[in-house]
Structures are given as C-alpha cells and as structure tokens.
Structure 1
Amino acid sequence: MGSPAVGGPATARAAADGGGGTGADGAVEVVEYTDPLCPWSWGAEPVLRRLRAALPDRVRWRRVYAILFDHDDDPPPDPAAETAWYARYVAGVTEHTGAPCAARLSRVAASSWPASLVARAAELQGARAAEAVLRRLRETVFVLGEPADTAELALAAVRGLPGLDLRRLAADAASAQVLRQVRADRAEARRPVPEALSAPAGSPHPGLAKETADGDRRYALPTLLLRAPAGYRVVPGWRTFEEYTAALDDLCPGLLAGGVPPPDAGRLPAATALARYRSLTDPERLLLAEGPWPPPDAVRVETGNGPLWLHPAEAAGHPAARR
C-alpha cells in the first residue's frame, strides 16, 4: 500500500482547520474520524485496536463522530433496492477487510446521530465503557444486520454491558451537552486539512475526502490525524499497521518504545485477549492474540463473513448470542 499523506509543520491555519496544534501540555494526539455505522471503520478495528495497544499512555486518542448518515439525507425512493445495493457494498468492503458482515441487512441506516450521541455519552462513564458501547453499536449493523439508527435501538444494543449505567447513558445521550459535542464533531469532520483532499493510492479505500450533499468536504472514514507540537500527519482510509506506525515515527521519532513494532508484537495469550477485548473477529484475534484458538469458553457467533468470538461474560448479554 502507498505511504500515508504527510502534513507540514503546525501553523495557525492548520490549527484552525483541525490539523496542527495539541493540548496545552503539548501532548501527542491521535484524532480518529469515524462513525459507529461505517463499514470501513468496522474493518479497520483490528489495526486500530492494535495501534491503541502499542501507544504509550501519554498519547491521547480522541474520536470524532463524522455522521455518515445525516438527518437531511434524502430518503431512498425504493428502500428495498437501496438496502440490496448497500448490502452488496458492505459485502464488498468485508472482502477487502475480512471483517464480519451480517447474513442479512434489514435496511440502510436512517441516521448516524442516535448511535453517535450514545457513543459520545458513554465516554462520560470512562474509557472502558466507551470502548464497549462503540463496539456494540458497530455490531448492530455488521453482525446483527439491524443498525442502531434510533435512540431506542442504540440504547437497547448496549443493555447488559457490565458496569454500564444505562439510565445515566440515556440521560447523557439526550443532553444538550452531548448534542453540542456531536454537532462539533460533525463540523470538525467537515474541515479537512489540505492533505486530506488528495490521497495516496495502494489501498482499496485510499481515503480521499468525500464531497457531502451540501457541497462540503468531509474526512473519509476512517482517517487518523496525528498531531504533535512539531506538526501533523494524515493517514486516510483503510491502512496497514505499518503505515500508521511509520507516520507516528516520522512525526515523533522515539515515541514508540523500541522503534516501530511489527504487527504481531505484544499479542496476548488467546484467553487473555478475549477477556481483554470481550469481542473479537477473526482478523482481530490473528493480530491481537497468540496461541491455540479458540479459548475453551469462547462463544462463537456466525455471521455472513466468518465468526465473531465473544467472551462468555459478553455473550451473556449480547443480542447476537440470544439468536
């Protein structure tokens, strides 16, 4: 695959556009432009999970919910035909990424807003809750085939997650504060840095910024924007672990302890990995786990493109395991 797009030094203009600049403490920041219902973002989960595990604690990872399916999108004139087309599109994406896809997709998502509001609200309950909630929201469409495109469906999808205060989550997701945050996310995603307007070849999803229905430009999903006091780098589209780590090493030499790690470095024993992540696709367990697979207590869920593996505690409340 081609090299990621490279940004220059951080400037006032770049900072205004979301490119350069970091927090007051000068920390390195990784900004992930994503959407809970995006198939390419779902397919990138193995590598992005591996990248998060490789980063030192001083690196901040911030998600920006770009709103792939917006409120003002025109409804399809033929919903059944639109669903059939989109199901074929998702199947094509999963051919490239190896990610599961639902055996049957019930519909194209009407809106990304409910899932994005719930995902953002979950961050108020800590990083572990945020990761678990976002994962479940992704699985509604790509495992269950029932996208969480209403508030009721988004909250139902995450019911039963250990340690999650569902009542608080519902209240926070409906709050003016979280709505402002997701509106700010949507706006930020539509101010791409100049380097995102062109993209390197070599990937089935190279990451060229998308033109929206209202004429704006939006980051392709997923896109990582790596920001440090010295500048920024853009890594758009579906990319390899090596491309992400090479961009980080170029921006911040020595940030990754021991240099750029190979993709299989730091893998966890199979049972430990399943306990840590609770839900693993085959591409994820190949990148994140080592040793005999599956662990004896793993729960296998069949999808239209390979299995999903659940920890038994996750399976106990997972809608896919109840089917």
Structure 2
Amino acid sequence: MAVSARYFTDPLCPLSWALEPMLRRLEVEFAGSLRIEPVPVGLYREPVRDSEDLLSRTRELAEVARVTRMPVDPTLWLGSDPPRSSHPACIAVCAALERDREIALRLLRRLREAALCGERRVDSPLALVECAVEVGLSREGFERNLESNATLERFAAAIESARQAARDAGGLRTTPLLEVQLGERRLFAGVDEGGGVERLLASCERLLSELRAAGLAIGEAPPTDAAAALARWGSLSTAELAAVTEWPWPRAAAELWRLVLEWRARPLLVAGGGALFRTQ
C-alpha cells in the first residue's frame, strides 16, 4: 500500500528546481510505496516589485545553480518583460490534476523546464496550452479545464492547504514543502524563510532517512544505464542522473554527452551554464 505525500510547490520556484534530483531518488527508491501529489501554491502573485525584490529572486536562482549544479537561467526576472506572475502556471497544474496526478506531474516538470531553463515564459494561456499538449494533454480538454471554476477553486484550496501545512510544520515556507503521512505521523521537509538550498537539501535527506527507518518498502535498484534513465523520464540534468544512479558527477556528465554524440539525446544549453538533456 502506498504512503501518501503532498508536495507543495510552484513551477517557478527555484528551490523546487533544486529538489528535482531528490524527487527522482524518491521515485526510484520508493517506487510503488510513495505516492506524491503535487499541490501548486502560487509563490509569485505579482511581478517584480522593486530592485530589492529583483535581487532576491535572482540571487536565489544563482544559489540553486551553485549548490546543486542544476541548469538555471538566472535572467528569468531580468529584461524588459519578465513573467508577471506564477499563478497562471499553478492554475495550469490544477487543470491537469482534473485529469490525473501523473499527467499533472509531467506538466509541472515541463513548466519548470520552460521557465527556469529560459525556453519560454509560462504566464500566458497560449504558452500553457502548448506545454500541456507537449506532455500529452488534449488541447480542447485542457483549455476547458483551464477556464473552469472547478480549477480555480482547486487552486484556492491548494493555497490554503499550503498555508496550513506550513503552520503545522512549524512555520516553514509554503514552497517547496514535502508532507508525508506515515501512519499516525506527519513528516515534513522544507525550510523557513531564512533557509537556503543547503538547508533544504539537508531537511530532505533527514526525511529520506526517516522513511528508510520506518521500513517503507524499497522499490527499485538504481538505474545502470543512462539511455534507459533518459527514456524513462524524457529529460534529465547531470545532477539528476548522478542522483538516481549514484554515479560520480564526471561519469554522469560523460554518459549524457555520449548519448548526444550518438544522436540518442539532445542538449538544451542553458544561459547560466549546464544543460538539460532530452530524448531525441
């Protein structure tokens, strides 16, 4: 029987992008035992307010790249026309949840890649529909869900759920926040407002240790083949492949670039350095 987890997040949240390698690890280690439900919480309601807000958002992106080596475009909030809000992307995830959890997780990932790797803005209906179609949603059905009152109500409920969970966790940030219901116990991983990437990752490592100690069923052995891992997820960074295979960074990077040389993968080079690798 699967243990339920809620993942409070936002497609444009830099710290959530930092957690992607950990989520891949959880997906492999506890396959079939841990069921993660995404809960989009609306981190950025408004555009960048002033230079201090701009500096804070950009600094967080840079910290994610420095600590995790995930590919990040640090110019997300710079320029003459940055994203106005992350709420449209959150509403899109809620619209996908009207269909099912797995497709919502795929859309959440696609929106993250588009925004944080600098491919496109994801705050317009057209961009959201394009991303949805790319992960297998029907255009007409998704457009209906995107405009429905049920989707907006789901988003409003998600925001309130995130606030309550953050309070229950002792005042942590609403995103990213992992909540695992383990029998009578609720386990949390996240950081408070002063916490950064390193403290977030340490919190998740503690959660991982608690799940192991609780005897949660081990799912799968780590992948041993880069091509199979890439085929499974469709896109991977070097940090993610290293996390799921337990390979050292140089080997993970070499294996992904070998697939590129063999025309079995294509790299998306990201402005801040690094690359995201996708199936051909």
Task: Give TM-score scaled by structure 1 length.
Answer: 0.70
Larger Rg: 1
Aligned pair in 2 of structure 1 residues 249, 103: CA closer, same or farther (>3 Å)? closer
Q: 2:206 aligns with which of 229, 240, 243?
A: 243
**Contact 2:132 2:142 (8 Å CA) reproduced:** no
| Residues 1:301 and 2:268 aligned together | yes
The aligned residue for residue 186 of structure 2 is 232
Secondary structure (helix, strand or coil) at the match of 1:245 reads helix
Write the distance in 1 (CA, Å) between the matches of 2:47 and 2:58.
Answer: 19
* Mapping for residues 177-196 of structure 1, pairs under 5 Å: 177-192=150-165, 196=169
Secondary structure (helix, strand or coil) at the match of 2:276 reads strand
Structure 1 letter corresponding to 2:17: W
Per-residue CA deviation, residues 18-53 of structure 1 (Å, 9 max, x unaligned), is xxxxxxxx9621111111110000110111122022
Post-superposition offset of 1:229: 2.6
The aligned residue for residue 137 of structure 2 is 164
Per-residue CA deviation, residues 163-217 of structure 1 (Å, 9 max, x unaligned), is 32122112112111111111100011111355632xxxxxxxxxx524xxxxxxx
| Residues 1:53 and 2:15 aligned together | no
Q: 1:254 aligns with which of 204, 215, 227?
A: 215
Secondary structure (helix, strand or coil) at the match of 2:123 reads coil
Write the distance in 2 (CA, Å) between the matches of 1:136 and 1:191.
Answer: 27
* Mapping for residues 280-291 of structure 1, pairs under 5 Å: 280-289=236-245
Q: List alignment gaps of at least 5 residues for structure 1.
A: 1-25, 198-207, 211-218, 313-323
Aligned pair in 2 of structure 1 residues 242, 93: CA closer, same or farther (>3 Å)? closer
The aligned residue for residue 112 of structure 1 is 86
The aligned residue for residue 279 of structure 2 is 311
**Contact 2:3 2:180 (8 Å CA) reproduced:** yes
Aligned pair in 2 of structure 1 residues 140, 193: CA closer, same or farther (>3 Å)? closer
Post-superposition offset of 1:58: 4.6
Aligned pair in 2 of structure 1 residues 150, 28: CA closer, same or farther (>3 Å)? same
The aligned residue for residue 267 of structure 1 is 223
Percentage of identical aligned residues: 27
Per-residue CA deviation, residues 267-301 of structure 1 (Å, 9 max, x unaligned), is 24111111111111110111234676122211011
Post-superposition offset of 1:140: 2.0
* Runs of 4+ deviating beyond 6 Å: none
The aligned residue for residue 116 of structure 2 is 142
Aligned pair in 2 of structure 1 residues 193, 90: CA closer, same or farther (>3 Å)? closer
Write the distance in 1 (CA, Å) between the matches of 2:101 and 2:172.
Answer: 28
Write the distance in 1 (CA, Å) between the matches of 2:56 and 2:34.
Answer: 40
Post-superposition offset of 1:54: 1.9
Write the distance in 2 (CA, Å) between the matches of 1:234 and 1:310.
Answer: 32
* Mapping for residues 25-40 of structure 1, pairs under 5 Å: 28-40=3-15
Post-superposition offset of 1:311: 0.6
Secondary structure (helix, strand or coil) at the match of 1:309 reads strand
Aligned pair in 2 of structure 1 residues 235, 174: CA closer, same or farther (>3 Å)? same
Post-superposition offset of 1:103: 5.9
Higher helix share: 2
**Contact 1:195 1:234 (8 Å CA) reproduced:** no
CA RMSD of aligned residues (A): 2.8
Q: List alignment gaps of at least 5 residues for structure 2.
A: 192-199
**Contact 1:102 1:143 (8 Å CA) reproduced:** yes
Post-superposition offset of 1:85: 5.5
* Mapping for residues 76-91 of structure 1, pairs under 5 Å: 76-77=49-50, 83=54, 86-91=57-62
**Contact 2:3 2:181 (8 Å CA) reproduced:** yes
Write the distance in 1 (CA, Å) between the matches of 2:187 and 2:114.
Answer: 32
Task: Give TM-score scaled by structure 2 length.
Answer: 0.80
Secondary structure (helix, strand or coil) at the match of 1:144 reads coil
Aligned pair in 2 of structure 1 residues 54, 222: CA closer, same or farther (>3 Å)? same
| Residues 1:222 and 2:176 aligned together | yes
The aligned residue for residue 196 of structure 2 is none
